[in-house]
Amino acid sequence: MPAQTNLFLCLTDNYGVLLHDPQSGATASIDAPEAAAVEAALKKTGWRLSDILVTHHHADHTQGIGELKAHHKCRVVAPRNEAARIAHVDETAGEGDTVRVGSLQAHVIDTPGHTAGHISYFFPADKLAFVGDTLFSIGCGRVIEGNAEMMWNSLLKLRDLPDDTQFFCGHEYTAANIRFAKTIEPNNKALAARGEEVARLVAAKTPTIPATIGAEKAENPFLRADNAEVAKLVGLSGSPAWKVFAEIRERKNRF
Ligand SMILES: [Zn+2]
């Protein structure tokens, strides 16, 4: 039976998402930005919380864990390389590990850069990926604990997922990301079309998430740093892709 998801906004611009296995009844919260919002989503869906899968240690992804664990006695899985910075962890996971939610199975992918130990969860049978603050739709996370080369290599791993993979990220930043992306690639037709679609979704107060990896490859400048045309547009023809990525990230930081 296919996995089910329930996406909801919380805090200011964070996304919470529940992943449900209809076969076993297991339900995971991907990160725990806000306990009350997760509880409301559980009530609405009628699902019972069995697991919390943490992508990284930032407070806006972890501050609900304690309250949810106290209430639901759920298992908390956290990134091995930063588990010491997260409270209430039961199990740790890193590159190549399999994490189960009932009968659903995730491959764990190390995606450092935003934080040093950030991980993403990919469920191949359902082609669902939960990427925290590494990849955003038409954007990517700030490089806070790692460096640009590290972040670029993490993004490449996510870009290598099947094109029809739907990914869920930690924030609703898509409209602002598109405004920035157009300054890098003003003539990208796929990006322009996505901009129109996102404007319609925002007007209808509908999430722009999940997005697909295939569409991001054509539209997201941060996944296009190894495209010769993009390198030329930022004045770095012939430079290594990670340097082009670093330049685009720097420009976004100042945008
Ligand atoms: Zn973060």
pLDDT in tens, 27-59: 999 999 999 999 999 999 999 999 999 999 999
Q: What is the Cα–Cα distance from 158 to 156, expressed in whole angstroms?
A: 5
Average pLDDT over residues 63-80: 98
Compute, in angstroms, the gap from residue 56 CA to the centroid of ligand 1: 7
CA 58 to centroid of ligand 1, rounded, Å: 5
Q: How is residue 229 written in tokens?
A: 């045309």
Could you confirm whether 71 is annotated as catalytic? no
Give the per-residue pLDDT at 119.
98
134 CA to centre of ligand 1 in angstroms: 8
**4, pLDDT greater than 90:** yes
Q: At 16, give phi and psi (nearest 5°).
A: -105, 150
Residue tagged active-site, from 20, 21, 31, 56: 56
In terms of phi and psi (left: phi > 0; alpha: psi -120 to 50; beta: otherwise), the region of 73 is left
**φ/ψ bin of 138: left (φ > 0), alpha (ψ from -120 to 50), beta (otherwise):** left
Give the integer Cα–Cα distance in Å for 31 and 18.
9
Q: What is the DSSP letter of 75?
A: E
Query: Would you call 56 a catalytic residue per the annotation?
Result: yes
72 catalytically annotated? no
Is 88 annotated as catalytic? Answer: no
Are 175 and 198 a contacting pair, CB within 8 Å? yes
Cα separation, 120 vs 140, in Å, equals 13
Of the candidates 20, 57, 58, 72, the residue annotated as catalytic is 58
CA 25 / ligand 1 centre spacing (Å): 29
Say which of 20, 57, 72, 114 is annotated catalytic. 114
At which residue do the structure tokens 């950030």 appear? 118
Give residue 199's identity as a one-letter amino acid code. Answer: A
Region 139-164: mean pLDDT is: 98
For residue 11, pLDDT beyond 90? no
Q: What is the pLDDT of residue 145?
A: 97
Q: At what angle do helices 65-72 and 35-45 cross, to 10 degrees?
A: 40
73 Cβ contact list (under 8 Å, min separation 6): none
Say how many Å lie between the CA of residue 118 and the centre of ligand 1: 9
Average pLDDT, the chain: 97
191-207 as b/e: b if 16+ CB within 10 A? bbebbeebeeeeeeeeb
- Over residues 183-235, the pLDDT tens digits come to 999 999 999 999 999 999 999 999 999 999 999 999 999 999 999 999 999 99
Beta-bridged to residue 168, according to DSSP, are: 130
176 Cα: distance to centroid of ligand 1 (angstroms): 17
Catalytic residue among 60, 72, 110, 126: 60
* Bridge partner residues of 212 (DSSP): 166
| Residue 12 pLDDT | 86
Residue 151 alpha carbon to ligand 1 centre in Å: 13
Q: How far is the CA of 132 from the centre of ligand 1 (A)?
A: 7
117 pLDDT higher than 90: yes
| Cα atoms in the 13 Å half-sphere on the side-chain side of 159 | 20
Q: What is the SS3 assignment for 120?
A: strand
> Which strand (E) or helix (H) includes residue 17?
strand 14-20
Respond yes or no: is residue 61 known to be catalytic. Answer: yes
Selected catalytic residue, list 57, 72, 118, 171: 171
Average pLDDT over residues 11-20: 94
Catalytic residue among 20, 57, 61, 118: 61
Residues contacting residue 252 through CB under 8 Å, at least 6 positions apart: 139, 180
Instruction: Tell me the C-alpha distance between 224 and 54, whole Å.
Output: 28
